[in-house]
Amino acid sequence: MARLSPNLAGIHCFACETAHDPQQLLTVCRACGLPLRVDYNLSSVNLSLRDLQSREPSLWRYRELLPLLPGDEVSLVEGLTPLLQVEANVWVKDESRNPTGSFKARGMALAVSMAKHLGAQALAAPSAGNAAGALAAYGARAGLPVTVAMPVDTPKAFFDECELYGATIHRVQGTIADAGKFLREHGPKDAFDVSTLKEPYRIEGKKTMAFELVEQFDGEIPDVVIYPTGGGTGLVGMWKAFDEMERLGWIPRGRRPRFVSVQSAGCAPVAKAFLEGNDRTEPWPNPHTHAYGLRVPSPIGGFICVRVLRESNGAAVMVTDEDADAATRQLASRTGIDVCPEGGAAWSALQTLRASSVIRDQDRVVVFNTGTGLKYR
């Protein structure tokens, strides 16, 4: 039996609130098929930002807000990435500094830890690139076999790292949606599916990005968070984390940053739904971009992303590959940060939102660089 956190209060559907048993290996809501949410009993948690100061330099410092007890984690020491100031009121949260060079490590650390301790014998997921590398690495660390499927035109470095970590790799025509379909039809039947938002724990890893922002801002809250949005787990996770921080008393009630979703002009289902006033995303036809992490045409959690943008008084921006590339070069050459195309898109979005005065000079802005550019070059 896995040793779950005593603070774990239950697991419920994000959409219909149906309750699920945390002792089971869970996927999506058995009632409606939408993503599940992990809930904590925070009234029993006595933890201040100051308490964190002397803790380990990883996301496991937020132990009371994670689902499992110390000693059971599958870890490569992920999280607590640098927040680098790059202009007067602008910081880059540099997620390239995680294991396997991307923010995907956070989610996979939690998902693989939980899957292993709840009895999974093998793991599988489709990926636009970085999630596959992270899953392959954490599977290797956990001693569990991994199968991944990626679009055939994903850059070579993503396949190479999966191979290095000993994963079984499928190259699939199309996008991550087609890779997911391939795995459902032809993947190993015994492998537990850790696809984005198809199990409850990747969100729990990703939410720690928001804990870190508040800790790194000494308890203050940035005005704007600019986030490249593919599957959207990070956006959903950070919104959840702000709710948890409010209940812990780390931040004042109702104070949130404005969240900005950055998507590619060649694949922008969340931005389109938000800008057109719809609650749900529609599959994006003929998706294309070489910011591969943004090539997610039908995100299962799209409706939650739209909700977050709306509730936070946020925004959405579509960026062309050309603008993203120019912004990548600009940010990297000015700062020494290893910027990926998705991070470049976020930097480009900042300039667009400044030009239209959605972001003003006095706003304190965090731009996410979600991974290393090395795998794309």
Q: Which residues bind a second copy (CB under 8 A)?
A: 53-54, 57-58, 76-77, 80, 82, 84, 94, 97, 99-101, 136-141, 157, 160-161, 164-166, 328-329, 332-339, 372-375, 377
Q: Distance between CA atoms of 249 and 244, rounded to whole angstroms? A: 9
339 close to 376: Cβ distance less than 8 angstroms: no
Nearer to a second copy, 179 or 337 (CB): 337
In the 3-class helix/strand/coil scheme, how is the chain assigned residue by residue? CCCECCCEEEEEECCCCCEECCCCCCCCCCCCCCCEEEEECHHHCCCCHHHHCCCCCCHHHHHHHCCECCCCCCCCCCCCCCEEEEECCEEEEEHHHCHHHECHHHHHHHHHHHHHHCCCCCEEEECCCHHHHHHHHHHHHHCCCEEEEEECCCCHHHHHHHHHCCCEEEEECCCHHHHHHHHHHHCCCCCEECCCCCCCCHHHHHCHHHHHHHHHCCCCCCCEEEEECCCCHHHHHHHHHHHHHHHHCCCCCCCCCEEEEEEECCECHHHHHHHCCCCCCCCCCCCCCCCHHHCCCCCCCHHHHHHHHHHCCCEEEEECHHHHHHHHHHHHHHHCCCCCHHHHHHHHHHHHHHHCCCCCCCCCEEEEECECCHHHC
The one-letter amino acid at 4: L
**Shortest Cβ distance from residue 343 to a second copy (Å)?**
12
Q: Distance between CA atoms of 344 and 135, rounded to whole angstroms? A: 24
**Shortest Cβ distance from residue 143 to a second copy (Å)?**
8
**Shortest Cβ distance from residue 195 to a second copy (Å)?**
20
Nearer to a second copy, 19 or 164 (CB): 164
Angle at 23 between CA 20 and CA 28, to 5 degrees: 40
**Shortest Cβ distance from residue 160 to a second copy (Å)?**
5
**Shortest Cβ distance from residue 127 to a second copy (Å)?**
16
**Shortest Cβ distance from residue 154 to a second copy (Å)?**
14
Nearer to a second copy, 159 or 182 (CB): 159
Nearer to a second copy, 318 or 337 (CB): 337
Nearer to a second copy, 54 or 357 (CB): 54
Nearer to a second copy, 100 or 281 (CB): 100
Residue 265 to residues 96, 287, 326, Cα–Cα distance (Å) = 23, 9, 15
**Shortest Cβ distance from residue 58 to a second copy (Å)?**
8
Nearer to a second copy, 136 or 241 (CB): 136
Nearer to a second copy, 155 or 174 (CB): 155
**Shortest Cβ distance from residue 344 to a second copy (Å)?**
11
**Shortest Cβ distance from residue 374 to a second copy (Å)?**
5
Q: Distance between CA atoms of 93 and 190, rounded to whole angstroms? A: 37
Nearer to a second copy, 77 or 358 (CB): 77
**Shortest Cβ distance from residue 243 to a second copy (Å)?**
26
Nearer to a second copy, 37 or 141 (CB): 141
